[in-house]
Amino acid sequence: MRVQKLDKIDRKILRHLQEEGRMSNVDLAKNVGISAPPCLRRVRGLEDEGYITSYHAKLNPAALGFGIIVFAQVKLGSNAESELKKFEKHIANLPMVRECYLVSGDMDYVIKIVAKDWDSYQKFLTTELTAAPAVSSIKSSLCVRATKEEPGVPIED
């Protein structure tokens, strides 16, 4: 990926699309102060350069029956790269795992898991997560409420 220097208009485009990915190109162009054709060219360039990697709808987990969010901290018995890869491959195939991060510190991974209820999480924990390659311990924290959920990164003009 070749990285281009972002100007003020590029940063505005990124900020607006990060806040509202369904914004029409005409509205986006108005918001950033340029006409629609060059705005579309800039968006395509930002996609090609890897600044924009995808577009998503933010769904309401509870409305879809997923009332539980759990953050699990996982420690592996080995930090050999082959073991990390096996664990990551296993986790990648688990739909209830929505995010997974290799971290430094006492634990090796932090995982965000959604579940319909506590029983379904416990079943997932015992049949899928503890069965993952090299897992030696898991600490689960139930999310009580989300107090801030902002996608992406802070973008300044």
Report which of 115, 102, 109, 107 is spatially closest to residue 70, judged by C-alpha positions.
115
What residues does each domain of the chain span? 8-48, 62-142
- Over residues 74-99, the pLDDT tens digits come to 999 999 999 999 999 999 999 999 99
Residue 8 is encoded by which pair of tokens? Answer: 């003020």
CATH of domain 62-142: 3.30.70.920
> Each residue of 34-66: pLDDT tens digit?
999 999 999 999 999 999 999 999 999 999 999
Nearest C-alpha neighbor of 69 from the set 135, 114, 3, 128: 114
Does residue 1 carry a pLDDT above 50?
no
CA dist 34 and 100 (Å) reads 39
pTM value? 0.86
Q: Where are the alpha helices (DSSP H) in the chain?
A: 8-19, 25-32, 36-48, 81-92, 118-124
Q: Select 8-48's CATH number: 3.40.50.720, 3.40.718.10, 1.10.10.10, 1.10.150.120.
A: 1.10.10.10
3-class secondary-structure state, position 101:
strand
Cα(15)–Cα(12) distance, rounded to whole angstroms? 5
Q: Is the pLDDT of residue 139 over 60?
A: yes
